[in-house]
Structure 1
Amino acid sequence: MRPHAATTTPNSGSAAKPYEQAAALAICRSCPVIGECRRFADEHNRINGYQLQGIWGGRRYGVK
């Protein structure tokens, strides 16, 4: 099973606007792999050399 973010648009995980962040968090709440996604984010603070950003496993990373 793949995280929902892996099957959506590239920007869905790095929502900048508050309503986009809220929508991403709502998707996370119903995701069956939220725990795996959160563990991945906690263990990999960088992807391809860039700081992890966006909504991962129901948490905000690098998002103000």
Structure 2
Amino acid sequence: MNNTDRSLLWTNNAAASGRIDWKLLDRLVHDPDEAQASALSERRYREMVGAYQRFRGRTGK
């Protein structure tokens, strides 16, 4: 199992068991002073937001 697989397994398990603070995570993703401020480029930020939205969709949150 590679690191990406381990990360996906951990995040899916964390979501399923209620260990994710969705309010905090949403703020970190969308607040202009957080992820957007530290993104390498606007394109990379949009990719991260898309991945976050897909993750939320898979978890039903």
> How high is the TM-score relative to the length of structure 2?
0.34
Q: Pick the structure with greater CA Rg.
A: 2
Q: Which has the higher contact order (CA 8 A, sep 6+)?
A: 1
Greater percentage in strand: 1
